[in-house]
Amino acid sequence: MVSSATASPAEQIVVQIAARLGIPQSVAVSAAGVAFQFLSRQLEAGTFDTLMERFPAARGWIEQALVTEKQKEESSFLGGMVGKVAGAVGGLGGVGAAAQLFARLGQVGVPADKLDNFVPTFSNVLQENLPADLFQVIKGKLPGI
């Protein structure tokens, strides 16, 4: 994967998430993709575009997350059920959106014992890499932060 010495500022997110949570970088890539896709639905288009300008690699991470989820759904009955439940719960507003985020993070391989720490870790990494005004807008959209 990416070494911290050669990583671009955008790729540093994945390196930092993997290191802080003790998960493989491949899982961190998919998890970051899930989180950025979640933000794409929570933020105004202009704000999300600004975020993507700061982290252009995130578009690829979103694609990777979708591929990983699809593979898991196709390879197991339980994976398909998790996807359906997450989709149904997503319609319940903010609580549903948070539940859907956590279900999708689990589906792309974030271990259950790391789920509670993922959003604060992702938030901290964003805070370290974004201007304060942009981070404040994003922070308000992340569940539990």
User: Tell me, what's the pLDDT at 4?
Assistant: 58
pLDDT-based confidence at residue 76 (cuts at 50, 70, 90): low
Query: Are the CB atoms for 21 and 29 separated by under 8 Å?
Result: no
pLDDT above 50 (res 58): yes
| 133: pLDDT strictly greater than 70 | yes
Q: Is 90 inside any structural domain?
A: yes
* Within-domain flag for 129: yes
Does residue 22 belong to any structural domain of this protein? yes
* Minimum mean pLDDT range among 19-28, 30-39, 74-83, 111-120: 74-83
Is a pLDDT exceeding 70 seen at residue 81? Answer: no
pLDDT, position 20: 97
Task: State pTM to two decimals.
Answer: 0.81
**pLDDT reading at 46 higher than 90:** yes
d(CA 11, CA 57): 7
- Does residue 89 have a pLDDT over 50? no
Domain carrying residue 79? 9-139
Q: Is residue 118 included in any domain, yes or no?
A: yes
Per DSSP (E only), the strands in 13-119 are none
Helix axes 25-42, 45-54, angle to 10 degrees: 150
Within-domain flag for 145: no
User: How many folded domains does the chain comprise?
Assistant: 1
Which tops the pLDDT comparison, 78 or 71? 71
Say if 3 falls within a structural domain: no
- The pLDDT of residue 90: 45
